């Protein structure tokens, strides 16, 4: 398919080359033909003039009527056998008359002196005629002297020129088309190579990329953007893979508990109290699974581009205060205080926003030493309002910071199966930020961890 | 309370039947849309639990034909949690919806909320054993002595007292006390219950605030074993 398209481009360009060549060669041919016609006509006239002057000279030297015979003989000699040059002398004096005085000649030769074209008899080409009137003088009676030269040879020259022009012209056009085709073909070689490479990309080798070096600038851009798209696809694919692996892992632990506990319970007679305990323990695991599935559904919906149902322009600090109030008992229990500073207004889904802030605060509470203070800062930027939660806590290595918001990502890889957190809290913050056209950020400096998100302020 | 449960998934239908019957409801079951429509139109239920995806006639169609005739409260069950589905259901006249997987406690709480809506006025003073909760004065007494509670602690106690004898899930408590309708891993309710228990139970000889493991909490007087 791709090769067909590049051939189509080559053919199209070849046709354009041919049309351009046809245009240029036609103009050139026309100009040359005009020039040739002018030159030929001038030559013809020169030739006519020369012949005319020869005779004129002879007539000037005429000494007496007895010489007319000599002149006639001379004219006979001057007339070539193919009669391409002819002479006529018209006069009332029959002794002077020369040539077959046809009616056309007579009617043409009026006035003092003129030049013109005249078709005589059935000759294919007209003759170029020049005539001159000599009034009577001492040596001869009044006479009209006429020279005609045949233009057939000139016409032939032009015809020949035309056929040469036509032949070389069409040859030239064809040659241009061919060269155009070859040039385009050659020019498209990198494109074909690129297309072949793209064909060979396969989902099993996700890290494959198009070779960008040695590509012409135009294609290099294309290939780079294509590679960019591949980068993003690979990242998304890898994320999906990790997600699947994580989900499987996260589900496996509670399922193992459930199956194992139930099997042990059923393997022998149990008292009702014991069975109730097993059921209660099962219920706890099942509730955890339900919460995880609901959160994953939430993330999936956010990922699919779901937006808050209704956005209300609200004071973000007030919303933060509500989340703080909700977490009040936890704060007291952990002996941690919260200070909220700054404010901004933004259109938000209140419940979503509170959920994100609650997750951030809960995270901060769990990582803050007793007696410390968590600072929530709300700041309005140009297009985004930022909510950042800072708490004193152990430094987070930079390689973890960027991945804090990944699903199931935990800084300490040895999973603390506390049951309290299933590792989706910050992923939900990220999803909420995305639902409000915002983003997330994390920093760890000088013993202070800052994690936050932004939401679009909107128009 | 007369309840119609419409659910084609037999396991779910069975446990809903059992659970609701044990809660004192009289329960009818329908496993497809046509039966559901017939029953819903024939009999006056207090509330209908309606699955959205049904064989024969889907939940929305059942709801529409019901709404053409009467206003029986309907709670929809749906496996799909997209806003469009919710909006469609609510627009068709559903009073509430629950997304699968849902907890039975949650369903129970919603059903009670739906059927209570019409109820007139509540008592201003609630008695649970020797505990007295004065909702107007916002004070609590046990065994005649005043219990010092913070505003949130009192709010929690009054929610539990209003539902005395009823198991309330953590989600339901969070929603009623803090108006928090989202899932969170923060164990706020546990901590709050612990604090409340320290004030209303610990100083006295018997406990009134009980944990039902995996389900939630209940405020009731239990006879000493």
B125-219 belongs to CATH 1.20.120.140: no
Lowest mean pLDDT among A373-377, B120-124, B166-170: B120-124
CA B154 – CA A43 distance, rounded (Å): 125
The distance of A355 to chain B (nearest Cα, Å) reads 7
Lowest mean pLDDT among A24-28, A166-170, B141-145, B220-224: B220-224
Residue with tokens 């406690």: B105
User: What local confidence, expressed as pLDDT, does residue A319 receive?
Assistant: 93
**Is the pLDDT reported for residue B120 higher than 90?**
no
Q: Are A10 and A42 within one domain?
A: yes
Q: Is residue A274 part of a domain?
A: yes
Of B186, B191, B214, the CB nearest to A287: B214
Mean pLDDT of A264-272: 91
Q: Is residue A256 part of a domain?
A: yes
**Structural domains in chain A (count):** 3
User: What local confidence, expressed as pLDDT, does residue A342 receive?
Assistant: 93
Question: Which residue among A254, A281, A303 closes a domain?
Answer: A303
Give me the CATH topology for the region B2-116.
Rossmann fold (3.40.50)
pLDDT bucket at A415, cuts 50 / 70 / 90: very low
CA A359 – CA A381 distance, rounded (Å): 23
CB contact at 8 A, B36 and B30: yes
Report CB contact under 8 Å: A330, B188: yes
Q: Are A321 and A444 within one domain?
A: yes
User: What local confidence, expressed as pLDDT, does residue A51 receive?
Assistant: 84
Q: Are A119 and A244 within one domain?
A: no
* Listed residue (A136, A140, A129, A133) closest to A102, CA to CA: A129
CA distances from B108 to B72, B114, B215 (A): 17, 10, 12
* Listed residue (A273, A295, A293) closest to A285, CA to CA: A293
Report CB contact under 8 Å: A326, B103: no
Of A289, A330, A425, the CB nearest to B191: A330
Q: Are A326 and A442 within one domain?
A: yes
**Is the pLDDT reported for residue A418 higher than 50?**
no
The range of the structural domain enclosing residue A267 comes to 217-303
CA A208 – CA A198 distance, rounded (Å): 10
Q: Are A364 and A393 within one domain?
A: yes
Q: Which residues of A touch B191 (CB under 8 A)?
A: 329-330, 333
Q: Are A258 and A394 within one domain?
A: no
Q: Which residue of A297, A311, A320, A329 to mutate against B (max B Cβ within 10 Å)?
A: A329
**Nearest 5 degrees, angle CA A335-CA A341-CA A344?**
135
Q: Are A70 and A23 within one domain?
A: yes
Q: Which residues of B touch A326 (CB under 8 A)?
A: 174, 178, 180, 186, 188
**Is the pLDDT reported for residue A420 higher than 70?**
no
CB contact at 8 A, B49 and B3: yes
**Is the pLDDT reported for residue A339 higher than 90?**
yes
Q: Which residue of B80, B185, B199, B210 to mutate against A (max A Cβ within 10 Å)?
A: B185
The distance of A329 to chain B (nearest Cα, Å) reads 6
* A331 interface with B at CB cutoff 8 Å: no
Nearest CA in chain B to A288: B185
Contacts of B89 (CB under 8 A, 6+ apart): B52, B59, B60, B63, B76, B78, B97
Of A301, A333, A355, the CB nearest to B82: A301
Q: Tell me which of B134 and B81 has the higher pLDDT.
A: B134
Buried b (16+ CB within 10 A) or exposed e, A325-342: ebbbbbbebbebebebeb
Lowest mean pLDDT among A91-100, A341-350, A360-369, A447-456: A91-100
Buried b (16+ CB within 10 A) or exposed e, A226-239: beeebeeeeeeeee
CB contact at 8 A, B23 and B166: no
Q: Are A8 and A134 within one domain?
A: yes
Residues belonging to chain B with any Cβ–Cβ distance to chain A shorter than 8 Å: 81-83, 99, 101, 103, 152, 174, 178, 180-188, 191-192, 195, 213-215
Q: Are A59 and A149 within one domain?
A: yes
User: What local confidence, expressed as pLDDT, does residue A411 receive?
Assistant: 64
Report CB contact under 8 Å: A355, B182: yes
Report CB contact under 8 Å: B184, A362: yes
Q: Which residues of A touch B187 (CB under 8 A)?
A: 330, 420
* A297 interface with B at CB cutoff 8 Å: yes
Q: Tell me which of B166 and A327 has the higher pLDDT.
A: A327
User: What local confidence, expressed as pLDDT, does residue B225 receive?
Assistant: 46
Report CB contact under 8 Å: A329, B195: yes
User: What local confidence, expressed as pLDDT, does residue B122 receive?
Assistant: 64
Q: Is residue A209 part of a domain?
A: no
**Is the pLDDT reported for residue A1 higher than 60?**
no
Q: Give residue-wise pLDDT tens across range A91-129.
A: 887 888 887 766 667 766 665 567 777 777 777 778 888
CA A154 – CA A37 distance, rounded (Å): 9
Q: Tell me which of A201 and B208 has the higher pLDDT.
A: B208
* A279 interface with B at CB cutoff 8 Å: yes
Q: Give residue-wise pLDDT tens across range B12-58.
A: 999 999 999 988 889 999 999 999 999 999 999 999 999 988 888 88
Report CB contact under 8 Å: A306, B82: yes
User: What local confidence, expressed as pLDDT, does residue A32 receive?
Assistant: 92
Q: Are A299 and A327 within one domain?
A: no
Report CB contact under 8 Å: A287, B213: no
For chain B, give the percent of residues with pLDDT over 90.
Answer: 30
Measured from the Cβ of residue A131, the count of other Cβ atoms closer than 10 Å reads 23
Q: Tell me which of A99 and A4 has the higher pLDDT.
A: A99
Q: Which residues of A touch B185 (CB under 8 A)?
A: 291, 359, 362, 420-422, 425
Question: Which residue among A110, A130, A158 closes a domain?
Answer: A158
Query: What is the CATH number for A290?
Result: 1.10.287
Query: What is the CATH number for A447?
Result: 3.30.565.10
User: What local confidence, expressed as pLDDT, does residue A109 receive?
Assistant: 63
Q: Are A271 and A365 within one domain?
A: no
Report CB contact under 8 Å: A281, B183: no
Q: Are A137 and A259 within one domain?
A: no
Q: Give residue-wise pLDDT tens across range A31-43.
A: 999 999 999 889 8
Mean pLDDT of A70-99: 82
Domain range summary for chain B, segments of one domain joined by +: 2-116, 125-219
Nearest CA in chain B to A356: B184
* A399 interface with B at CB cutoff 8 Å: no
Helical H segments across A368-424, by residue range? 398-401
Helical H segments across A368-402, by residue range? 398-401
For chain B, give the percent of residues with pLDDT over 70.
Answer: 93
């Amino acid at each position: 398919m791709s090769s067909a398209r590049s051939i189509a481009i080559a053919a199209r360009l070849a046709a354009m080359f041919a049309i351009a060549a046809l245009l240029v060669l036609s103009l050139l041919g026309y100009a040359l033909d005009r020039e040739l016609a002018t030159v030929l006509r001038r030559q013809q006239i020169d030739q006519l003039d020369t012949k005319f002057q020869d005779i004129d000279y002879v007539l000037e030297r005429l000494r007496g009527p007895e010489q007319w015979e000599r002149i006639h003989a001379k004219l006979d000699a001057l007339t070539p056998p193919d009669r391409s040059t002819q002479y006529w002398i018209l006069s009332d004096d029959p002794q002077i008359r020369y040539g077959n005085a046809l009616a056309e000649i007579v009617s043409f030769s009026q006035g003092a002196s003129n030049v013109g074209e005249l078709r005589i008899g059935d000759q294919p080409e007209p003759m170029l005629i020049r005539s001159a009137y000599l009034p009577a003088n001492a040596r001869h009676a009044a006479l009209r002297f006429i020279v005609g030269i045949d233009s057939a040879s000139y016409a032939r020259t032009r015809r020949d020129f035309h056929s040469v022009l036509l032949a070389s012209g069409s040859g030239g056009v064809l040659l241009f088309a061919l060269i155009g085709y070859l040039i385009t073909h050659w020019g498209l070689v990198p494109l074909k190579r690129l297309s072949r490479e793209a064909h060979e990309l396969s989902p099993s080798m996700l890290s494959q990329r198009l070779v960008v070096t040695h590509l012409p600038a135009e294609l290099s851009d294309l290939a780079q953007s294509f590679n960019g798209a591949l980068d993003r696809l690979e990242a998304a694919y890898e994320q999906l893979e990790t997600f699947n692996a994580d989900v499987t892992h996260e589900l496996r632990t509670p399922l193992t508990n459930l199956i194992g506990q139930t099997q042990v319970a059923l393997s022998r007679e149990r008292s009702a109290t014991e069975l109730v305990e097993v059921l209660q323990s099962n219920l706890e695991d099942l509730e955890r699974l339900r919460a995880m599935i609901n959160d994953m559904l939430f993330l999936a919906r956010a990922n699919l581009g779901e937006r808050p149902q209704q956005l209300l322009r609200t004071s973000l600090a007030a919303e933060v205060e509500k989340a703080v109030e909700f977490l009040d008992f936890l704060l007291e229990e952990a002996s941690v205080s919260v200070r909220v500073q700054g404010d901004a207004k933004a259109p938000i889904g209140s419940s979503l926003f509170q959920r994100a802030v609650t997750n951030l605060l809960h995270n901060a509470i769990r990582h803050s030493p007793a007696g410390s203070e968590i600072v929530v800062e709300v700041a309005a930027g140009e297009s985004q309002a930022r909510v950042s939660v800072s708490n004193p806590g152990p430094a987070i290595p930079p390689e973890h910071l960027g991945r804090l918001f990944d699903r199931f990502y935990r800084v300490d890889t040895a999973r603390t199966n506390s049951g309290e957190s299933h590792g989706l809290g910050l992923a939900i913050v990220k999803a909420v930020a995305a639902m409000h056209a915002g983003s997330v950020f994390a920093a760890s400096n000088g013993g202070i961890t800052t994690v936050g998100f932004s939401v679009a302020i909107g128009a | 309370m007369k309840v119609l449960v419409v659910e084609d998934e037999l396991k779910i239908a069975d446990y809903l039947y059992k659970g609701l019957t044990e809660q004192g409801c009289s329960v009818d079951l329908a496993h497809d849309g046509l039966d559901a429509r017939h029953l819903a139109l024939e009999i006056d239920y207090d509330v209908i639990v309606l699955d959205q995806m049904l064989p024969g006639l889907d939940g929305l169609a059942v709801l529409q034909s019901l709404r053409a005739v009467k206003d029986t409260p309907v709670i929809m069950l749906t496996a799909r949690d997209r806003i469009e589905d919710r909006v469609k259901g609510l627009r068709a006249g559903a009073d509430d919806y629950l997304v699968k997987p849902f907890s039975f406690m949650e369903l129970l709480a919603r059903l009670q909320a739906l059927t209570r809506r019409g109820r007139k006025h509540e008592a201003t003073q609630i008695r649970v054993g020797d505990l007295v909760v004065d909702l107007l004065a916002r004070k609590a007494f046990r065994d005649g002595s005043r219990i010092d509670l913070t505003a949130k602690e009192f709010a929690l106690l009054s929610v539990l007292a209003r539902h005395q004898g009823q198991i309330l899930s953590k989600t339901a408590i969070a929603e009623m006390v803090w108006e928090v309708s989202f899932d969170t891993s923060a164990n706020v309710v546990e901590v709050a219950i612990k604090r409340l228990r320290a004030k209303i139970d610990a100083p006295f000889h018997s406990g009134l605030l009980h944990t039902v493991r995996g389900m939630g909490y209940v405020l009731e007087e239990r006879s000493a074993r």
